[in-house]
Structure 1
């Protein structure tokens, strides 16, 4: 089968590789349909290996099939798997962890396990291939009215929904999202689905702010290179107090500082984007304003049915963040390189594995 594999930074290759082995008792094989290019995949391409396994010399241990945002159709089922059957369309929850004997796994907190592997980064296969071998618990049958493209968008949408959950967004809240990339815009949509009625998004890229306005017409857009984010939000919120919840989706120091400044007293700041290192904040404001500052790591595995319902029902129209679909033949130039273009004209790119 054909697959896109990571070999080293700036070294991705579309290659013919062996088909997955027959599934063990607790495994399934799926024919992959659509897969999204995630920011993590981009970081591996530009700077990796980061999460891709390495040998003791710090080099890639073996070529790695990328892609953890995907779905497909079940083609083989291990005899111990009963919740899906051959022919079922599924979405992939990509965490592979021990089932017991781990502090966090034993509490159902699979995303926090240090033993976690991820399909498409540190597992034997991934979504950027024509087929993949997975554990049975990795696949969830999608609703009949969910498209194959939507099945590939459950994973990034789960990141957004979990971040909104961590922020405790309630009906009637005002919410700031920093970063108008795919996760930022999905987070806006998730906040709206949770009941937020006043929404702000900041980003220095005018094209992305324009796309945000097209997706959510009533969102207030802010370019932080031209306006002070906190001042804009205080001027627009009741009593000039600031927003209820600020969700940082960039992993940028200035964006985090803007969130701390913009949120009201007793408000909540959630860090969703991954920072490359330390990020100073105004701790006087954190204390004086009595705010909560929380992390949000990925999502819980149990969220998949809920997130699928949110997408299938139209409450989170995830496909609106997709700006382009490519094939394996063109994925490096038209996918990875396009997303790394500083002009930032693309948001979410899907790979059509039947193309």
Structure 2
């Protein structure tokens, strides 16, 4: 079968690899429809391997080379002999986090913090940018007719964004500032708006700002042209935002978040910082501000996110800016997303070879 395989930094090849064969106990064989390219994938391509293991992973012994793709939907082709929760022919979305179920965190329901966590498409034998993949049956959720194949591939990043907003305890009537309008920031805006929040988005990249504007749920601000903190405070009677979802992983954006949030407000650090960031901790204390990091999402969130999409409350498809063939994954996917002058926000790969 064909698959997009990561070998090393700037070395992803679409090549023929052995297929997975039939699923074993507790497994399902899936034919992926669409698979998103994530920021984590981009980091691996630009600087990796980082998360992808060079030595056998402690949970499942996987290691380089790695079939990529952890944001995907697909059709079930076959199920293992003991699987009754899903059947061949059904459409599903895959929750990619793999966990031991036995460590301190797993036993407390914090499976996304498992001490030996792995992920389909990053530290597992199979991935979603391939013609076939085997995944645990417990990790697939059936897609209703109201949810398209494309929307099903966006459940994973939507869960990341929703967790960021939920961690900031956003509720109806809140004013929310989102810093960064990449895929997660855009999805966070859609989710916060669905709750009933008033949303502002700060974004410096014109292409991303245009996509954010097209969502129709937020006022989009260019931090190079206006003082975002002053603007938000002016619109809130001098108070500031009830919550800030920091989605850029940028030092200046985090500083803006701290300055723009109201006293006793909440900041959710959802974007991943790849280097240290300088802040004034005294401001957190003086203003009673809660700054919380987020990692992934609760592994049980798939049915809830799928239901929101099915009912039209979470139009995740609005963030997609390109749909490409597997053969074009490097040039039109990874290179386009990493280009400083690129105009792509969310690229989905058609995993079915043409």
TM class by smaller structure: over 0.9
Task: State the match for 1:128 in structure 2.
Answer: 129
Write the distance in 2 (CA, Å) between the matches of 1:335 and 1:108: 35
Task: State the match for 1:81 in structure 2.
Answer: 83
Task: State the match for 1:17 in structure 2.
Answer: 17
Give the stretch that moved more between structures: 69-78 or 16-25: 16-25
Task: State the match for 1:44 in structure 2.
Answer: 44
Whether the 8 Å contact between 2:66 and 2:122 is mirrored in structure 1 is yes
Query: RMSD in angstroms over aligned alpha carbons?
Result: 1.3
Q: Partner of 2:262: helix, strand, or coil? A: strand
Measured after TM superposition, the shift of residue 313 of structure 1 is 1.4
Residues 1-355 of structure 1: matches in 2 within 5 Å? 1-55=1-55, 61-99=63-101, 101-196=102-197, 198-216=198-216, 219-237=218-236, 239-354=237-352, 355=354
Q: Partner of 1:3: helix, strand, or coil? A: strand
1:9-48: CA deviations, max 9, x gaps?
1001001001113222111110111100111111111111
Write the distance in 2 (CA, Å) between the matches of 1:55 and 1:297: 24
Whether the 8 Å contact between 1:205 and 1:344 is mirrored in structure 2 is no
Question: What's the TM-score once normalised by structure 1's chain length?
Answer: 0.95
List alignment gaps of at least 5 residues for structure 2.
57-61
1:56-78: CA deviations, max 9, x gaps?
9xxx9421001100010111111
Write the distance in 1 (CA, Å) between the matches of 2:131 and 2:65: 16
Whether the 8 Å contact between 1:163 and 1:270 is mirrored in structure 2 is yes
List alignment gaps of at least 5 residues for structure 1.
none
Whether the 8 Å contact between 2:63 and 2:123 is mirrored in structure 1 is no
Give the stretch that moved more between structures: 242-251 or 203-212: 203-212
Question: What's the TM-score once normalised by structure 2's chain length?
Answer: 0.96
Whether the 8 Å contact between 2:127 and 2:133 is mirrored in structure 1 is yes
Write the distance in 1 (CA, Å) between the matches of 2:125 and 2:207: 37
Whether the 8 Å contact between 1:208 and 1:344 is mirrored in structure 2 is no
Write the distance in 1 (CA, Å) between the matches of 2:123 and 2:344: 27
Number of residues of Structure 1 aligned to a counterpart in Structure 2 = 348
1:265-312: CA deviations, max 9, x gaps?
010000001111321212121111111111111101111000001112
1:143-201: CA deviations, max 9, x gaps?
121110011000000001111110100000000000011110000001011220x2111
